[in-house]
A and B are shown apart, each in its own frame.
Chain A
Amino acid sequence: MAAMPAKPVPSVGPAEMQAMVARAGLTLNPGQMADLVLAWRQLAGLIATIPRDRPLADDQAYVFRLPPPAPEPQPTPRPTRKPARKRARTTR
């Protein structure tokens, strides 16, 4: 799969910005909206600089790391009786 280079983030116009803000459940007054426009302009500039040229197969690196599985419980061995020692036969 061909690698994807960094690309500019699609620009967001005022109407679209209003819609996205509403979709996020936010209600902003004009001053707060002006602050967000300024902040987003800078954030979008940073996003645009992030390279996207990793080969697709490398995405396996982006996973959760689980702890290793606990060892299976082993059955407790039964205590073994010592075999009775053979007594030497004595013949008289």
Chain B
Amino acid sequence: MTAPAPFLTIAEASRLIAAKKLSPLELTRALLERISTLDPQLNAFITVTERPALAAARRAQASTDKGPLRGIPVGYKDIYQTAGVLTTAHSRLLADNVPTEDAEAVRRLGAAGAVMLGKLATHEFAIGGPAFDLPWPPARNPWDTRRFTGGSSSGSGAAVAAGLVLGALGSDTGGSIRLPAAYCGIAGLKPTPGLVSRRGVIPLAPSLDTAGPMAWTAQDCAILLDALAGHDPADPASVPSPRTGYARAIAAPVKGLRVGLLRRFYEHDVPATPEVLRMMNHSVSVLHDLGCRIEEANLPPVQEFNAVGRVIISAEAFALHEPMLTTRLADYSRVFRMRVLGGALIRAADYIAAQRRRTDLIATAAKLFERFDVLLSVPAADAAPVVSEQRPDDGFARPFLTTVANVAALPSLVVCGGFTAAGLPLGIEIIGPAWGDQTVLRVGHHFEMAAGTRDRRPEL
């Protein structure tokens, strides 16, 4: 057996395990050792499940299953319920919460042979962060530990980028998979709503919440999605959809695909830095060289999507947390309170107006896909900021580019598009039509191969 390299992708590790050149047990041991060494500076983990992980790795080693996730070490954002394992949502309120059942997504990855290494940091209840007044510190960016990981799937982004796990689960209500993917230089997919079950995932705003995979490459996200996708009658938003071989389908060429460039989003609505603009110009030329046909596309301003998203999130999050906010207010972080308490003052008419406007925006975006196969934008206007400079009112004062895909109910993938001069990763965002998850993964995969951004890893 070869010694496990710290930076294997899921696809690479899977091939080595299948060829008996890598043992799941040795891989798990190596990553647990890496977590023990590196996590004190990253704070990516809230709980490391060493003994159950070693037991699961032994089972994977003995198994004859030939699935691509057999023996693959993963981590779960700490809002995914895990039977017998602490699930805190990064909050003092759930500091002793040990569920009795796995979330459906956790169950599916476990059934596919994945090995859980632990539970990953988040923003408090997937919104209140980065916060410094909680029992666990915020996760740090492996590319520069002074910097923000993005959130709220902060630990998932950090753990994948640092090579502590090969894949992770995140959740995305306004950009919480894709912002950490961008800032940490990995791939993250917000699937079409209804494709991946949210049963057992602690909700933030149920009409916008999605669960999805995060990994080093788009191909790895596709491998994870193959195990995750599928109807779950216990999630009322789950949709019976045809089974697609996502990992197999990404190899198909992208020549001739019509790419709509949402240039106004990042040049005007939320102006990007010169480095992001240069990266986007280069990314467009990479897709052009792959044979994609690129034209400018337009949607209503980012601010409109953001306003609708923020009103829905505030109202629904307050409604969910009202019983605890009225009895244990001081146990929440200041950031959580600032982002959610305003929901107490939203009138029903304003919430309904936001939902009605959302149906218009969904229809407008869907119509654009009559002309385009995918849309291209950026998930963030700059590289990762310094974590201590994050404002508690972010998302209100500065709109999130990523919220467009949540409000429009579209699948959206972020992959690494390049790096700043200081070596910080920059992401591109590929948005598809509803149920076009396979297409966005395919474009992301070919882009990564052509752009060559996957060979560079953070130095820790």
Instruction: Please report A residues at the B interface, Cβ cutoff 8 Å.
Output: 9, 12, 17, 20-21, 24-28, 32, 35-36, 38-40, 42-43, 45-47, 49-52, 54, 58-59, 61-62
* CB atoms of B311 and A43 under 8 A apart: yes
* CB atoms of B325 and A26 under 8 A apart: yes
Number of interface residues of B (CB under 8 A): 35
* CB atoms of A62 and B356 under 8 A apart: yes
Q: Which residues of B contact A52 (CB under 8 A)?
A: 353, 356-357
Q: Which residues of B contact A39 (CB under 8 A)?
A: 338-339, 341-342, 393, 396
Residue contacts A-B, CB under 8 angstroms, 27 given:
A9-B350, A12-B345, A20-B345, A25-B322, A26-B329, A35-B338, A35-B341, A38-B393, A39-B342, A39-B393, A43-B310, A43-B314, A46-B306, A46-B307, A47-B346, A47-B353, A49-B304, A50-B304, A50-B307, A50-B350, A50-B353, A50-B354, A52-B353, A58-B359, A59-B356, A62-B352, A62-B356
Q: Which residues of B contact A26 (CB under 8 A)?
A: 325-326, 329, 341, 344
Interface assignment of B453: CB less than 8 Å from any CB of chain A = no
Cα-based distance from A45 to B269 in the complex (angstroms): 17
Which residue of the partner chain, among A27, A40, A58, contacts B345 with CB atoms under 8 Å?
Answer: A40
Which residue of the partner chain, among A21, A46, A54, A61, contacts B396 with CB atoms under 8 Å?
Answer: A46
Cα-based distance from A17 to B314 in the complex (angstroms): 17
* CB atoms of A21 and B344 under 8 A apart: yes
Given contacts A46-B311, A50-B307, A54-B360, contact A40 B342 (CB under 8 A): yes
* Centre residue among B350, B354, B355, B360 by max chain A CB count within 10 A: B350
A54 to chain B, nearest CB (A): 5
* CB atoms of A47 and B350 under 8 A apart: yes
Interface assignment of B258: CB less than 8 Å from any CB of chain A = no
From 374 to 409 in chain B, residues with beta carbon under 8 angstroms from any chain A beta carbon are 392-393, 396-397
Q: Which residues of A contact B356 (CB under 8 A)?
A: 52, 54, 58-59, 61-62
Q: Which residues of A contact B326 (CB under 8 A)?
A: 24-26
Q: Which residues of A contact B339 (CB under 8 A)?
A: 39
Instruction: Please report B residues at the A interface, Cβ cutoff 8 Å.
Output: 303-304, 306-308, 310-311, 314, 322, 325-326, 329, 334, 337-339, 341-342, 344-347, 350, 352-357, 359-360, 392-393, 396-397
Q: What's the dominant secondary structure at chain A's contact region?
A: helix
* CB atoms of B341 and A36 under 8 A apart: yes
Q: Which residues of A contact B347 (CB under 8 A)?
A: 9
B364 to chain A, nearest CB (A): 12
* CB atoms of B322 and A35 under 8 A apart: no
The 10 A-B pairs with the shortest beta carbon distances in the complex, nearest first, are A42-B396, A24-B344, A46-B307, A25-B326, A43-B342, A39-B342, A47-B350, A49-B307, A39-B338, A40-B342
A62 to chain B, nearest CB (A): 6
Cα-based distance from A42 to B310 in the complex (angstroms): 10
Cα-based distance from A21 to B343 in the complex (angstroms): 11
* Apart from the given pairs A26-B325, A28-B341, A42-B397, 20 other A-B contacts in the complex at a CB distance below 8 Å: A9-B350, A17-B345, A20-B344, A24-B326, A24-B344, A28-B329, A36-B342, A39-B338, A42-B393, A43-B311, A43-B345, A47-B350, A47-B354, A49-B304, A49-B307, A50-B350, A51-B357, A52-B356, A52-B357, A61-B359
* Centre residue among A21, A47, A59 by max chain B CB count within 10 A: A47
Cα-based distance from A38 to B394 in the complex (angstroms): 12
A60 to chain B, nearest CB (A): 11
Given contacts A42-B397, A62-B359, contact A49 B303 (CB under 8 A): yes
Q: Which residues of A contact B322 (CB under 8 A)?
A: 24-25
Q: Which residues of B contact A35 (CB under 8 A)?
A: 334, 337-338, 341, 392
B124 to chain A, nearest CB (A): 15
A55 to chain B, nearest CB (A): 11
Q: Which residues of B contact A40 (CB under 8 A)?
A: 342, 345
B311 to chain A, nearest CB (A): 6
A67 to chain B, nearest CB (A): 9
Q: Which residues of B contact A46 (CB under 8 A)?
A: 306-307, 310-311, 396
Q: Which residues of A contact B354 (CB under 8 A)?
A: 47, 50
Q: Which residues of B contact A24 (CB under 8 A)?
A: 322, 326, 344-345
Q: Which residues of A contact B304 (CB under 8 A)?
A: 49-51
Cα-based distance from A21 to B306 in the complex (angstroms): 25
Cα-based distance from A50 to B339 in the complex (angstroms): 19
The residue on A at minimum CB distance from B357 is A50
Cα-based distance from A49 to B306 in the complex (angstroms): 10
Cα-based distance from A46 to B350 in the complex (angstroms): 10
